[in-house]
Structure 1
């Protein structure tokens, strides 16, 4: 049982490293790997980071299958041990192979090669539309994708974006679209008068967006807090 536990822990750490090489944070990687192997907890919002990424999906498929079959293997091994006796070299051989793989993946040179391979696979085989939003837009930690809600007291309300920010062309931010109810507005965005209830998707430099739209973001947070709604900015 201790050998089996060691194998499971080694497999978990192996896939934590592999998920990290695709750009996933270590704490998110470890939780999702354990969730996939055990079939519990994978309904969290973070699971979208796995499902929306083609390479992570392939890794997840293996983990799901490994989690399902590993239980059957351990039950079979215990039965064989109790009935015939299982040779120690078979047990330690399996554990040693997994730990060896884990040790190899800890090498920086190996991780660099795998990271380059994953990136090359993404560029060659994956369509842009298949990538998660974070991988498409948030190329740098200074990038921000903001879903801004307009309220009656917002500074942008009852005027166009161009009227509110006449120097918008010189700023590192762009409006991607305006959602008004069920209608998506994609043309003449800066000349469209904004109304209460409009939803703006804005992309650009985090520092610029937070500075220029500080008051509107603060109003949105306060309103959403009143209604106990989640805040929309994507860090």
Structure 2
């Protein structure tokens, strides 16, 4: 029974550690999903080689987080396996083994429900944020809040097709600002990264463009081809953006009158 309880506690601690690591990585600028994936990969020793992994290795704070997580993960996995084996080897009777199995199963179910609980996640996230601010030098940046990544606003990174509407056109000609879309940066293979490019910057095929704005507008941009329908789509979203601005201006005016 003691081995079964130990197994449950070790797994719970492992989940907490990866949660803390994921939160710390998020504070360095990684997205939520990327931070969770990298934290779990490092803890389990998966060692996946991706572009995100390279960005972590080139970032001193992220590299330190992953380094410690890998050390803890090696010890944690060995301990889990040892406790799991002892849970079913040490007991002399079948009843004791079944009792140990029951503890493990119930414990894992409760842990799974806790992980899936939004209430637990919010409470744990707030606690971890406070601890990171107080006891570490990691600067906490809520990029999702800063960029207002809600109300259908999002950031998408995608490659420009050779027959895509954006290819071989300057930002001035694309006039994406009129659609409420902002180009945050362009990654050009063999050349480098261009942050916050100006209106004279030309988008080329195979450029990886990072765009911020309404998700439906961004999806429309990447699906447009070099034909007359592309201009129609552009005009449609320009009209939608103008309507949105007029509505916002009207709401502000009404509040001032109150």
| Corresponding residue of 1:171 | 179
Q: Is the 8 A contact 2:159 2:208 kept in 1?
A: yes
Tell me the residue number matched to 1:231. Answer: none
Matches within 5 A, 1:48-59: none
List alignment gaps of at least 5 residues for structure 1: 83-87, 217-235
Aligned residue-pair number: 193
Hey, what's the Cα distance between the residues in 1 that align with 2:16 and 2:68? 14
Instruction: Work out which of the residue numbers 213, 225, 239 in structure 2 matches 1:204.
Output: 213
User: TM-score scaled by structure 1?
Assistant: 0.50
Deviations 1:180-232 (A, max 9, x none): 4432334653212333343322223212211234215xxxxxxxxxxxxxxxx
Give runs of aligned pairs for residues 65-76 of structure 1, distance below 5 A. Answer: 65-72=75-82
Paired residue for 1:155? Answer: 165
Shift of the 178–56 alpha-carbon distance from structure 1 to 2, 3 Å rule, reads: closer
CA distance in 2, matches of 1:99, 1:187: 50
Separation of aligned partners in 2, 1:64 and 1:169: 49
Residue pair 2:166, 2:174 contacting (<8 A) in 1 also: yes
**In 2, are the aligned partners of 1:175 and 1:200 still within 8 Å (CA)?**
yes
Contact (CA 8 Å) 1:157, 1:196: kept in 2 or not? yes
Deviation of 1:176 after TM superposition, in Å, equals: 2.0
Deviation at 1:163, TM superposition (A): 0.8
Call closer, same or farther: CA 1:156–1:108 in 2, change over 3 Å.
closer
Q: CA RMSD in A?
A: 5.6
**Contact kept? 2:160, 2:166, Cα under 8 Å:** no
What whole-Å deviation, never above 9, does each CA across 1:9-52 have from its counterpart, x for those lacking one?
A: 98269728974995967xx88xx86x777x5756386x96xx76
Q: What is the alpha-carbon distance in structure 2 between the residues aligned to residue 68 and residue 200 of structure 1?
A: 43
Post-superposition CA distance 1:66-98 (Å, at most 9, x none):
21134445667888778xxxxx8xx97xx69x9
Paired residue secondary structure (2:203): coil
Deviation string 1:130-175 (CA, Å, 9 cap, x unpaired) is x9x9898684464122223242x2222332122122xx33433211
Aligned pairs for 1:1-235 within 5 A: 4=4, 7-8=7-8, 11=11, 15=15, 19=19, 39=44, 41=46, 43=48, 62-72=72-82, 99=107, 111-121=121-131, 125=136, 126-127=138-139, 139-140=149-150, 142-151=153-162, 153-165=163-175, 168-184=176-192, 185-186=194-195, 188-215=197-224
- What TM-score, normalized to structure 2? 0.47
CA distance in 2, matches of 1:108, 1:154: 40
Contact kept in structure 2, 1:150 and 1:199, CA below 8 Å: no
1:36 and 1:67 in contact (8 A); partners too: no
> Is contact 2:170–2:200 with CA below 8 Å preserved after alignment?
yes
How many Å separate the matches in 1 of 2:66 and 2:127? Answer: 14
Contact 1:178 1:189 in 2 (8 A): no
CA–CA separation in structure 2 for the residues paired with 1:57 and 1:135: 28
